[in-house]
């Protein structure tokens, strides 16, 4: 049940359930299913109708919205997206997140910080979640190209949306939703002034894309290049903790 507290000592209840379909995707799935049934029943084109029906099931699966158990901790930053960590690098934050805004709230600054890039394939859950809890201070949409989201330059050239969240202690965390080759729309669920909990749903990107997270100075990732992460569950970093981690592909 959403909102239920579970812990590492057995408190709470766990059971498997079919993931819900997010309302944003129900219309696409129903349209695809209706067209498939029309081809099967009205036109009797089985060779086309059955593959289309399977494709409509794939559309529903793309918009699945499973519940997640979000780790709780004052300094934790969790993954905003399901997918593969394809880039970890030291880069300056996006210009839109660097400086102070009209209210005087500081941005991420201009010095290089650790950026974690999470690539979502069409098979991953595409609901994005807040990496930290706090107040949404900026939601900035930037039109652009539709290059392969796995490329480093996609952060600067692709259609994207920046989100800046201010934690209760005043520290700010930025993340960027980036459209890809197939993705054609970034759908926000939040706006400036909204208060979000860590792991709360903040948006989605339709049909394959990427999400970047910018860690504050003095914070190293707790994930490795090539690791798969789960939105709202995988801990990306702990504020103020710096430590080299190594892994072996096997």
Say yes or no to pLDDT of 222 above 70. yes
**Percentage of the chain lying above the pLDDT 70 cut:** 94
Q: Would you say residue 127 has pLDDT above 70?
A: yes
pLDDT for residue 161 is more than 50: yes
Largest alpha-carbon pair distance within the chain?
64
Can you name the CATH fold of 76-238? Glucose Permease (Domain IIA) (2.70.70)
The model's pTM is: 0.87
Q: Could you give the residue ranges of the DSSP H alpha helices within the chain?
A: 23-37, 46-62, 95-98, 154-157
- The per-residue pLDDT for 1 is 43
pLDDT for position 242: 93
Torsion over CA: 235, 239, 241, 245 (sign): positive
Q: Are 210 and 229 in contact (CB under 8 A)?
A: no
Domain ranges of the chain: 1-70, 76-238
Provide the β-strand partners of residue 87. Answer: 117
* 118, β-bridge pairs: 85, 211
pLDDT score of 73: 92
Note the pLDDT tens digit of each residue in 231-250: 999 999 999 999 999 999 88
Note whether 148 and 181 are within 8 A (CB). Answer: yes
In angstroms, rounded to a whole number, what is the distance separating the alpha carbons of residues 109 and 93? 7
Q: What is the C-alpha to C-alpha distance for residues 250 and 244, in angstroms, rounded to an integer? A: 20
Q: Give me the half-sphere count of Cα atoms (radius 13 Å) on the Cβ side of residue 163.
A: 34
Question: Would you put residue 109 in left (φ > 0), alpha (ψ -120 to 50) or beta?
Answer: left
DSSP letter, residue 38: I
Distance (Å, whole) CA 151 – CA 127: 21
Residue written as token pair 């860690």: 215
pLDDT in tens, 88-115: 999 999 999 998 887 788 899 999 999 9
Residues labelled catalytic: 209
pLDDT at 183: 54
149 — pLDDT class (breaks 50, 70, 90): low
Asked which of 29-43, 60-74, 144-158, 199-213 is least confident by mean pLDDT, the reply is 144-158
pLDDT computed for residue 146 by the predictor: 67
Percent of the chain with pLDDT over 90: 56
pLDDT digits (tens, 9 = 90+) for 33-74: 888 888 878 777 778 878 888 888 888 888 899 999 999 999
Q: For residue 140, what is the enclosing H or E element?
A: strand 134-142
Q: By three-state DSSP, how is residue 123 classified?
A: coil
pLDDT at 169 over 90: yes
- Average pLDDT over the chain, rounded to whole? 89
The CA distance from 170 to 186, in Å, is 27
């Amino acid at each position: 049940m959403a909102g239920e507290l579970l812990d590492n000592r057995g408190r709470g209840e766990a059971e498997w359930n079919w993931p819900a379909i997010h309302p944003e995707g129900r219309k696409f799935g129903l349209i695809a299913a209706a067209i498939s049934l029309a081809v099967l029943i009205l036109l009797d084109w089985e060779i086309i109708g059955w593959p289309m029906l399977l494709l409509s099931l794939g559309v529903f699966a793309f918009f699945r919205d499973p519940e997640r158990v979000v780790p709780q901790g004052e300094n934790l930053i969790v993954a905003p997206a399901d997918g593969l960590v394809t880039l970890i690098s030291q880069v300056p934050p996006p210009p839109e997140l660097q400086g102070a805004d009209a209210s005087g709230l500081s941005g991420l600054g201009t010095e290089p910080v650790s950026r974690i890039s999470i690539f979502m394939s069409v098979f991953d859950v595409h609901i994005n979640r807040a990496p930290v809890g706090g107040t949404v201070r900026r939601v900035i949409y930037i039109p652009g190209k539709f290059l392969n989201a796995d490329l480093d330059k996609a952060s600067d050239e692709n259609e994207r949306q920046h989100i800046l969240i201010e934690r209760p202690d005043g520290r700010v965390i930025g993340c960027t939703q980036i459209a890809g080759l197939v993705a054609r729309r970034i759908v926000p669920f939040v706006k400036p002034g909204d208060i979000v909990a860590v792991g709360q749903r903040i948006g989605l990107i339709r049909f394959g894309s990427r999400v970047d997270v910018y860690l504050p100075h003095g914070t190293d990732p707790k994930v490795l290049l090539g690791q798969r992460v789960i939105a709202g569950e995988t801990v990306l970093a702990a504020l103020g903790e710096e430590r080299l981690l190594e892994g072996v592909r096997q």
